Amino acid sequence: MNLERLLERFCRYVRVDTTAVPNAGRYPSSAGQLELGELIADELEELGLEDVEQDAHGLVWATLPSNARHPIDAIALCAHFDTSPETTGKNVKPVVWRRYEGGDLTLPGDKTKVLRVADNPNLKEYVGRTIVTTDGTTLLGADDKAGLAVIIEAVAYLTEHPELSHGPIRLCFTCDEEIGHGVDHLDPKKLAAVCCYTLDGGGHDMIDVETFSADLAVVTVHGVNIHPSIGKGRMTNALRATARFLELLPKEMSPETTDGRDGFLHPYHMEGGVAEVRMNVLLRDFDDAKLFEQQQLLHRIAAQVEQEYPKAQVDVQVAPQYRNMAAGLAKEPRAVAYAEQAHRNLGRIPEKTIIRGGTDGSRLTELGVPTPNLSTGEQNPHSPLEWCCLEDLGAAAEVLVELAQVWARRGK
């Protein structure tokens, strides 16, 4: 793998500001995503790919056609252009630390930002390698520009090595994944692949095979407002009723107190006053049945609050967001099995992991395209302390090259 070219590619992509903007009222939510899409579409043309297209919604598509004489099922590779709105992605100045010597890294643009070994014990594995960080004032955007760079470098490698047999590989790069809209305009039929791989995972050699199942509850508490001077016996303060609602949410079912396979209920936004309060609550579990129990619990709590505040009315509206991909992946067992095989062929030990969140892949899997998620080397996403290791990016690209060959050997 040409690591220097991969590094240049990665740094070129992170310098384009593609921060997603919540509630922007347009798609994609920021112009930078279109700019990066154009740049990448040009690069794909230069590589000689077919069907290169930036569609009306800013998604970029391309095909690396099969070079084999026998029929091979098409697979797809997917990554997203946008970066998280949690930290700015404007004026990203990647800092490259060659032959990392170990120890803490003080970021040059903001000396208060220090990548400490104490907080990142896995840094010890990376002594002697090339680390890329931010300058401390922005995020890095390895989530998911590492995914973009890895996919395109792997495809470039395949075009340069015609002796490596592969089937059709479809590429699809999406917008606004970080704000939950990555798949809004992605037609699974247009992918035309038996399965897809998102390159949007942390670390190395991990295959995410499960995501949370997710619902969003909007809780509206209606009170009775009246001038406080005559409030006795007449006022019902929605703020107090909402506080009671929050108190009744079990603390042992919160993100602050759970990990691993345990789900949670997460109130994360509230607005309102005496007359009415609206609160958003995330429902999350790996098990759909337990997700439904969370919904029932919210309704029971609402009933109890209404009992304690007889003039209050508590509405709970639950809408589905995405579902655990495990069930959908079972429909195309080759997707994960071949990814594991590709790692083993390279002498690596793949680890099957679960994500306490969702990916474009959870929605895609729901839409009928089984889509596990692969490591790209990103670390500490969404933060000014985000970093990645160049050798991990290279390793992820090698996995894709090998994966294409596993499908070519076995994939029909």
Site residues (vs Zn ion, CB under 5 A): 143-144, 200
User: In terms of CB distance, is 151 or 302 closer to Zn ion?
Assistant: 151
Strands 95-97 and 195-202 turn out to be unpaired
Q: Which of 176, 177, 392, 398 is catalytic?
A: 177
Rounded CA gap, 285 and 267, in Å?
15
Least distance to Zn ion, CB of residue 80, Å: 6
Rounded CA gap, 318 and 303, in Å?
16
Least distance to Zn ion, CB of residue 146, Å: 9
User: In terms of CB distance, is 200 or 208 closer to Zn ion?
Assistant: 200
User: In terms of CB distance, is 29 or 67 closer to Zn ion?
Assistant: 29
CA dihedral 292, 298, 302, 308 (to 10 degrees): 130
CA-based torsion, 202, 95, 60, 357: positive or negative: positive
Least distance to Zn ion, CB of residue 162, Å: 32
User: Tokens 């240049």 sit at which residue?
Assistant: 8
**In sequence order, what E strands does 111-246 have?**
114-115, 131-133, 169-174, 195-202, 206-211, 213-222
- CB-CB contact of 73 with 167 (8 Å): yes
- CB-CB contact of 123 with 115 (8 Å): yes
User: In terms of CB distance, is 143 or 402 closer to Zn ion?
Assistant: 143
Q: Which of 81, 336, 75 is nearest to 196 (CA)?
A: 75
82 is catalytic: yes
User: In terms of CB distance, is 180 or 255 closer to Zn ion?
Assistant: 180
Rounded CA gap, 66 and 192, in Å?
14
3-class SS of residue 50? strand
User: In terms of CB distance, is 143 or 215 closer to Zn ion?
Assistant: 143
177 is catalytic: yes
Least distance to Zn ion, CB of residue 115, Å: 20
Sheet strands side by side (includes 313-322): 264-272, 276-285, 213-222, 313-322
CA dihedral 10, 16, 19, 21 (to 10 degrees): -150
User: In terms of CB distance, is 60 or 281 closer to Zn ion?
Assistant: 60
How far is the CA of 397 from the CAs of 152, 263, 383, in angstroms? Answer: 8, 33, 24
Least distance to Zn ion, CB of residue 79, Å: 8
**For 102-206, where are the alpha helices, taking DSSP H only?**
142-160, 188-191
User: Tokens 């990376």 sit at which residue?
Assistant: 126
Least distance to Zn ion, CB of residue 150, Å: 13
Least distance to Zn ion, CB of residue 31, Å: 20
Rounded CA gap, 363 and 183, in Å?
7
Q: Which of 82, 144, 366, 386 is catalytic?
A: 82
What is the set of active-site residues?
82, 177
